[in-house]
Amino acid sequence: MSKTMKQIATLLLLGAACMNASAAFPDKPINMVVPFGAGSATDTLARGVAKGLSERLGQPVTVENKPGAGGGIGAAYVARSAPDGYTLLMGTNGPMAANASLYQRLPYDPVKDFAPVALMGRLPMILIGNADAKATTLPELIAAARAQPGALNFGASNTTARVWVELLKRMADVDVATVLYSNVGGMMTDLMSGRITYAFENVGPSLPQIAAGKVRALAVTTPQRAPFAPDIPTVAESGLDKHELVVWFAMFAPRGTPAPVVERINAEVNRVLGTDELRQLSAQIGMTPAAGSPKDLEAYQESEVKNWRSLVDMTGVRID
């Protein structure tokens, strides 16, 4: 047999082995890595999706929390894992788009090291204020900030919130202070007590406090009003429509995961997202579910990486 024929035979054998492995998938438990702590919105979503996938795939899908470095520790772990579909990442806009611009040295490439599987959904940030704050609408807040430059302060417990404060300063031409927090619990405590006056925050921690009357909602950051809170105006309604920045969740696998395996997981994830249980969970965390192909997620992620690069360059927010 010639050298060329041997190479062709080897490729055919490898292809057949890959197809056999894909056809049998899954034949053992799947590990879904969450790059944030237990109790986060990402964790809540991952556990709901894992339950649905376990039922549909006939194999346990466990959730493992690997928090740290803005989601980078968990993302790097999945990037280094075997590309066989048995290690998945429940990613967000942080580790899978923003970190590429926020960190000078990143131990993984959010695009080159991963195979996109499925976009889960999007949700806004909410601009919230202390219940006793004088400005109860975004236009009133902007007017107050212009009347007293540097007097108003905003809490930020995550990078997206930090960038939103900077965007507000630029789009509204105001000078406000940013108070950084390492966790949302401490920030929310200070907001409710009046130590800080306003904050941009994720939907999950905000809605219960809004419902209890402990904080006030001023605006959501999505272009349209959120289905879970149609009475809350958007920032765009106040003329702040030059930039868009939302939170999103998506599933990824290590780069090199066989396409049939990726397609199988994608199909089952889309089915899980359409269940009543996941619709209820999505409403709980304020997420608008999305469904689509791996190619759809690939295109969306690439656009988000570019968007974050532009926003980070403009605002100057960096972590290292």
Strand pairing partners for 234? 220
Same-domain pairing of 197 and 139: yes
Q: How many CB atoms lie within 10 A of CB 2?
A: 7
Which two structure tokens, joined as six digits, stand for 139? Answer: 């236009």
Final residue of a domain: which of 236, 271, 302? 236
The full 3-state SS of 19-67, as one line of letters, equals: HHHHHHCCCCCEEEEECCCCCCHHHHHHHHHHHHHHHHHCCCEEEEECC
Is 91 strand, coil or helix?
strand
Same-domain pairing of 107 and 148: no
How would you classify the pairing of strands 87-92 and 247-254? antiparallel
Final residue of a domain: which of 205, 236, 267? 236
Confirm whether 1 is domain-assigned: no
Same-domain pairing of 42 and 91: yes
Same-domain pairing of 223 and 252: no
Confirm whether 4 is domain-assigned: no
Mean pLDDT for each consecutive 10-residue tract of the chain (320 residues)? 54 50 85 92 95 97 94 96 98 95 93 98 94 95 96 91 92 94 90 96 90 96 87 92 89 98 98 96 90 96 95 86
The angle formed by the CA atoms of residues 122, 284 and 312, to the nearest 5 degrees, is 35
Model-level pTM?
A: 0.85
Confirm whether 75 is domain-assigned: yes
Same-domain pairing of 129 and 232: yes
pLDDT score for 8: 54
Confirm whether 132 is domain-assigned: yes
CATH code of the domain in which 140 resides = 3.40.190.10
Residue 208 structural domain: 125-236
Same-domain pairing of 167 and 107: no
Final residue of a domain: which of 236, 265, 282? 236
Same-domain pairing of 63 and 161: no
Confirm whether 70 is domain-assigned: yes
Q: Which residues are within 8 A (CB) of 55 and not within 5 positions of it... i.e. 6 or more apart?
A: none
Structural domain tally of the chain?
2
Confirm whether 241 is domain-assigned: no
pLDDT score for 141: 96
